[in-house]
Amino acid sequence: MDLQLDDQVAVITGGSAGIGRATAEGLAREGVHVALCARDEEATKDAARGLRADHGVEALGAAVDVTDPDDVARFSERVLNTFDGVDILINNAGVGTNETILGASDEKWQYHWDLHVMAAVRMARQFVPSMQARDGGVVLHNASICARQPLDHEPIYNVTKAALSMLSKCLANEVADDDIRVNCVNPGLVQTEPWEEAAREETRGEERDWTDFLSEIAEENTPIGRFASPDELADFLVFLCSPRASYCLGSTYYVDGGWLNVVN
């Protein structure tokens, strides 16, 4: 299927690894030029070099702290000077948490609010006007199944991802007349580096392998009985970026191997 994405420009936050990196690869295979940002400068630049070498697209990699408004503004200026416009924005940056509501500090709440919600707001303010000038575009938010089905150990993550899902719906309504499609994706278990690190830590000193720990998690929670790969989720994100998904607007899609325990 021709996804009709050739020569478009995409911005991806958290683009140096995991889901962000896989999505950048998927878009680049379709001929999309990509601007990546993440906190790890070398990893982000390395990802951009790989995209240029493997797919022949233009690729920019920059170290950006998306919780810092000034950093976001500087990144936006660089992107718009480099590409002269943006067609796709994927707000992917995020990280899990571990706390209780009563025990977590204001500072921790504020940091993750800035990371998961305000970063997406600021990125939209920076790049949606470019889409309006181009008569259309796509904004995707990578949230989490936890926005609807919370995990007990990470209330801050649950709350901020739920807010991100609602932000997506509100922005979709605001810019629909500009032919800008905004959607949210709520993944379930995706085997990224943080999951692998947690599994290694959990099984340290035990006879079972860390992969066994992940298998147990998947079998306990998902009817499909396994984690997704970042590429599997990326394929869905790339499709949502395409004009082939032109009637997809203002929705939240669950890519979770059947984990969600309600009809949605």
How far apart CA 14 and CA 39 sit, in angstroms, is 8
Beta carbons within 10 angstroms of residue 6's beta carbon: 11
Residue 100 lies in a domain: yes
Specify whether 36 is located in the same domain as 14. yes
pTM of structure: 0.96
User: CA–CA separation, 143 vs 95, rounded Å?
Assistant: 10
Count of structural domains, the chain: 2
Domain-embedded: residue 114: yes
**SS3 state at 40:** coil
Matching residue, tokens 């997506």:
168
Return d(Cα 107, Cα 28) in angstroms, integer: 37
Assess whether 127 and 40 both reside in one domain: yes
* Structure tokens given for 82: 């480099």
Residue 162 has pLDDT above 80, yes or no: yes
**What would the two tokens of residue 204 be?**
């340290």
Burial of 215 (0-12, 13-18, 19+ CB in 10 A): middle
Higher pLDDT, 161 or 262: 161
Judge whether 33 and 83 are in contact, CB under 8 Å. yes
What share of the chain has pLDDT > 90, as a percent? 96
Q: Does any domain span residue 44?
A: yes
- Identify the domain containing residue 179 by its residue range: 9-190+229-255
Q: How many CA atoms lie within 13 A of 64 on its CB side?
A: 32
Q: Read off the tokens for 156.
A: 């801050």
Query: Could you tell me if 161 and 219 lie in one domain?
Result: no
- Tell me, yes or no, whether 83 and 211 share the same domain: no
Q: Are residues 17 and 127 in the same domain?
A: yes
Q: What is the pLDDT of residue 131?
A: 98
Do 204 and 156 share a domain, yes or no?
no
- Give domain status of residue 260, yes or no: no
193 CB-contact burial (10 Å; exposed 0-12 / middle 13-18 / buried 19+)? exposed
Q: Does residue 121 sit in the same domain as residue 30?
A: yes
> What is the tens place of the pLDDT at every residue in 113-150?
999 999 999 999 999 999 999 999 999 999 999 999 99
* CATH (domain of 131): 3.40.50.720
Tell me the catalytic residues.
Answer: 157
Task: Please give the Cα distance from 173 to 235 (Å, whole number).
Answer: 25
Task: Answer whether residue 79 is part of any domain.
Answer: yes
Diameter of the chain measured on Cα atoms: 58
Residues 120 and 65 in one domain: yes
Residues 177-201 have pLDDT tens digits of: 999 999 999 999 999 999 999 999 9
Amino acid 262: pLDDT: 87
Q: 183 and 59 share a domain?
A: yes
Pick the closest to residue 155 from 106, 110, 98, 116 (CA basis).
98
